Amino acid sequence: MPMADTALTTSEESLLNGALEALLTENDPKSMSFEEFRGAQYDHGLAWVYFDEGFGGLGLSPGLQKNVDVRLREAGAKPMHPAMFFMHLAGPTIHTHGSEESKQRFLRPMFTGQERWCQLFSEPGAGSDFAGLAARAIEDGDSWVVNGQKVWNTMAHLGDWGMLVTRTDPDMPKHRGMTYFALDMKTSGVDVQPLRQITGEAEFNEVFLTDVHIPDENRIGDVGDGWRVSLTTLMNERNAIGAGSGGGPPKAGSGPVSLLTSMWRETPEHLRESVTKDRMMRLYVRSEAQRLTNIRAGQNRRQGNPGPEMSIAKLAFAELNQDLLTAAVDMMGMAGQVDYDYTFRRPEDLSVDGSENGIQHGFLRVRANSIEGGTSEIMRNILGEQVLGLPGEPRIDKDVPWIEVPRS
């Protein structure tokens, strides 16, 4: 590392340590409520350390966030509720593109958990081709009227606010006629309906928008700049899914691989097969390689928002989780095929990696890992084109006005 970078890092670490000492001297995470302590953490600039001062940050390198997470975990800070996952998407997006008023209004209650967020991007006709979305927003004085449908909206039934992307100019090419809003999910005309999954749960939703009025002050970014704003959300989503979403670096052997190793330890010695042991160890090595790679990537991150290279972590995460849970179900034998509760239910938490609610649930849940946050095919396209510099796919509708693109 160059001497200037070393000096900068030392200076930043000194500033960070001072803020941590002040936070923990004035506030005891073990005796305070989750919301109270998170509010104090935000006010001390330790929510997102790379954010601007006054908005939950100290203007430091993003890689130092892990120092905060580890220190607070050791001090007894309560873990973040899984349903708060979307703050990792909405927070950086609003900080990067939102007005001063938007940052003041949304960031603190988002971080404390007082307000939960969800994502309203995909549509029945616009999934992987997200820029083809059709939900229409028409300007009406100092507000916008939105009509359309969104789908695959994780935890939208618990959301107070939604990250909503709309079509504001159908005469522009699809990437240039989009606008991004913060939507109050309690607004008249917002109808959230469950989508039942293979797990029996309805973690996903579809959201119908009928004459929904959104104040222009809740617009995030410029009119027509929704694609660029959305990329910030999507890059942070892939980082949060693939590299973990807070609480400090994961410990060795944690997550889905722990289900596999626990099963092995509980298997009687005379039933342990060398083939199964070999399969388990190969998966453990892959799991550790990904964990350590993600930690190194976080330490080396110098800019606020992650770039396309984080598609590597998201792609590897999806494939590894599916292989881990498949191996775990195989180890269960016939028991893995029966006695699972498919009762319809609306979950209150979110287990993206499938490690929280048992092996059978995890096996079914992680099928979504290769779709949510961008399919594995899209991740490979991004890595090929934007990281490796390979020729892009033909995109014949890229410069055609959205309204002229044929649709089924």
Domain contains 392: no
Per the structure, how many domains does the chain have?
3
This prediction's pTM? 0.89
**pLDDT tens, 14-52?**
999 999 999 999 999 999 999 999 999 999 999 999 999
More confident position, 122 or 392: 122
167 pLDDT higher than 50: yes
Per-range mean pLDDT, top range of 215-224, 241-250, 349-358:
215-224
Residues 254 and 380 in one domain: yes
Mean pLDDT of the chain: 91
Domain contains 190: yes
Here the CATH number for the domain that contains residue 122 is: 2.40.110.10
Q: Give the pLDDT confidence score for residue 135 in this predicted structure.
A: 98
> Domain boundary at 175, 202, 224, which?
224
> Domain boundary at 168, 199, 224, which?
224
pLDDT level of residue 304 (50, 70, 90 thresholds): low
Lowest mean pLDDT among 111-120, 257-266, 301-310: 301-310
Q: Give the pLDDT confidence score for residue 380 in this predicted structure.
A: 94
89 pLDDT higher than 50: yes
Q: What is the average pLDDT across 394-400?
A: 88
Domain contains 396: no
Domain contains 360: yes
Q: Give the pLDDT confidence score for residue 115 in this predicted structure.
A: 97
Here the CATH number for the domain that contains residue 91 is: 1.10.540
Cβ count within 10 A of residue 180: 29
Q: Give the pLDDT confidence score for residue 320 in this predicted structure.
A: 94
Amino acid 400 reads: V
Lowest mean pLDDT among 131-145, 266-280, 290-304, 329-343: 290-304
Domain contains 399: no
pLDDT level of residue 249 (50, 70, 90 thresholds): low
Question: Active-site residue numbers?
Answer: 237
Q: Give the pLDDT confidence score for residue 247 in this predicted structure.
A: 53
Determine the structural domain holding residue 14 and report its residue range: 3-112
> Domain boundary at 224, 239, 260, which?
224
Q: Give the pLDDT confidence score for residue 369 in this predicted structure.
A: 92
Here the CATH number for the domain that contains residue 238 is: 1.20.140.10
Domain contains 71: yes
Q: Give the pLDDT confidence score for residue 1 in this predicted structure.
A: 47
pLDDT level of residue 5 (50, 70, 90 thresholds): very low
